[in-house]
Amino acid sequence: AQSVTQPDIHITVSEGASLELRCNYSYGATPYLFWYVQSPGQGLQLLLKYFSGDTLVQGIKGFEAEFKRSQSSFNLRKPSVHWSDAAEYFCAVGGGRGSYIPTFGRGTSLIVHP
């Protein structure tokens, strides 16, 4: 069975500081990996996804994530956080088309201090 662990429930950073949100997954084959962001009162929006190829994936809003098969990780990074990045971030893992039903992590709440 596939699963996702986001070990940090809350992360607090100062505006302008760098950010890394952790995600570990369990999946029996090559996974499809996703990061979503949820702003207060909104639905989830896709930040980036990894299917194959280059293990460093660029997304929207200046975010990137790196797939590390040996560590079963897909950590999200941003070099300089803006106050508007304060939100809930969800990592998800799924398979290919035909078996694609993603499993979401519990989420990490990002708090940004001025």
Partner 1 sequence: DAGVIQSPRHEVTEMGQEVTLRCKPISGHDYLFWYRQTMMRGLELLIYFNNNVPIDDSGMPEDRFSAKMPNASFSTLKIQPSEPRDSAVYFCASSYGNEQFFGPGTRLTVL
One of 25, 67, 89, 90 touching partner 1 (CB under 8 A): 90
Output the smallest distance, CB 17 to partner 1, in A. Answer: 27
Rounded Cα gap, residues 26 and 103, in angstroms: 10
Output the smallest distance, CB 27 to partner 1, in A. Answer: 14
Tokens linked to 104: 């979401």
- Does residue 42 touch partner 1 according to CB under 8 A? yes
Q: How many residues bind partner 1 (CB under 8 A)?
A: 22
Query: Under a CB-based contact definition with an 8 Å cutoff, are residues 95 and 89 in contact?
Result: no
- Does residue 10 touch partner 1 according to CB under 8 A? no
One of 43, 54, 70, 114 touching partner 1 (CB under 8 A): 43
**Which candidate, 61, 51, 107, places its Cα nearest to that of 83?**
61
For 3, 85, 112, the CA distances from 40, given in Å and listed in that order, are: 25, 11, 14
Query: Under a CB-based contact definition with an 8 Å cutoff, are residues 32 and 95 in contact?
Result: yes
Query: Under a CB-based contact definition with an 8 Å cutoff, are residues 110 and 87 in contact?
Result: yes
- Does residue 22 touch partner 1 according to CB under 8 A? no
- Does residue 89 touch partner 1 according to CB under 8 A? no
Q: Which residues bind partner 1 (CB under 8 A)?
A: 32, 34, 36, 41-46, 49, 51, 90, 94, 96-97, 100-102, 104-107
